[in-house]
Structure 1
Amino acid sequence: MTKKITVVQRVKNIVLMGIGSVIAAAGLDVFLVPNNIIDGGVVGISIMASYLTGWSLSAFLVLLNLPFLYLGYTQIGKTFAFSTLFSIISLAFWVGVFTPIPEVTNDLFLAAVFGGITIGVGIGIIIRHGGCTDGTEMIAILLDKRTSFSIGEIIMFFNLFILTAAGFIFSWDKAMYSLVTYFVAFKVIDITLRGLDESKAVYIISDQMEEIRDALMARLGRGVTILHATGGYSKEEKPVLYCVVTRLEVAKLKSIVSEWDETAFVTISDVHEVMGGRFKKKAIH
Structure 2
Amino acid sequence: MKLLTNRTRKMDVILIIVGAFIMAVGINLVYEPMDLVTGGFSGLAIIIKYFTKGFIHGGIPIWVSNILLNVPLFLAAFLLKGKKFVGKTLFATAVLSVALYIVPSFDIVYHDLLLASVFGGVIGGIGLGMVFITMASTGGTDMLGMIIHEFIPHYTIAQVIFVIDGAIVLLGAATFGLNKALYSVIAVYITAKVMDGMLEGLKFAKLTYIISDQYEEIAKEIMDKLDRGATGLHATGMYSNDEKKMIFCVVSKKEIIELKNIVGGIDPKAFIIVSDVREVLGEGFIEYKQ
TM-score range, shorter chain: 0.7 to 0.9
* Inter-partner Cα distance in structure 2 for 1:255 and 1:140: 44
Match of 1:107 in 2: 112
SS at match of 2:226: coil
Alignment of 1:100-249 (within 5 A): 101-105=105-109, 106-147=111-152, 149-151=154-156, 152-193=158-199, 199-208=204-213, 209-217=215-223, 221-228=226-233, 239-249=245-255
CA deviation digits over 1:4-48, x for unaligned, max 9? 543343233223311221111111111111001133333322322
Q: Which stretches in structure 1 are left out of the alignment for 5+ residues?
A: 280-285
Are 2:259 and 1:253 aligned? yes
* Inter-partner Cα distance in structure 1 for 2:84 and 2:4: 17
CA deviation digits over 1:55-105, x for unaligned, max 9? 111112112222221111111111111110111111111111223x42212
Alignment of 1:64-83 (within 5 A): 64-83=69-88
Percent of pairs identical after alignment? 26
SS at match of 2:135: coil
Bigger drift between 23-32 and 6-15 goes to 6-15
Instruction: Please give the root-mean-square deviation of Cα atoms over the aligned residues, in Å.
Output: 3.3
Match of 2:23 in 1: 24
* Inter-partner Cα distance in structure 1 for 2:134 and 2:124: 16
Once the two structures are TM-superposed, the CA of residue 263 in structure 1 deviates from its matched residue by 6.6
Once the two structures are TM-superposed, the CA of residue 142 in structure 1 deviates from its matched residue by 3.9
* Inter-partner Cα distance in structure 2 for 1:170 and 1:243: 54
Change (3 A) 1:102 1:157: closer
1:108 counterpart letter in structure 2: L
TM-score (normalised: structure 2): 0.79
Once the two structures are TM-superposed, the CA of residue 247 in structure 1 deviates from its matched residue by 2.4
- Alignment length, in residue pairs? 275
SS at match of 1:203: strand
Say whether the 8 Å CA contact 1:257–1:264 is kept in structure 2: no
Q: Which stretches in structure 2 are left out of the alignment for 5+ residues?
A: 53-58
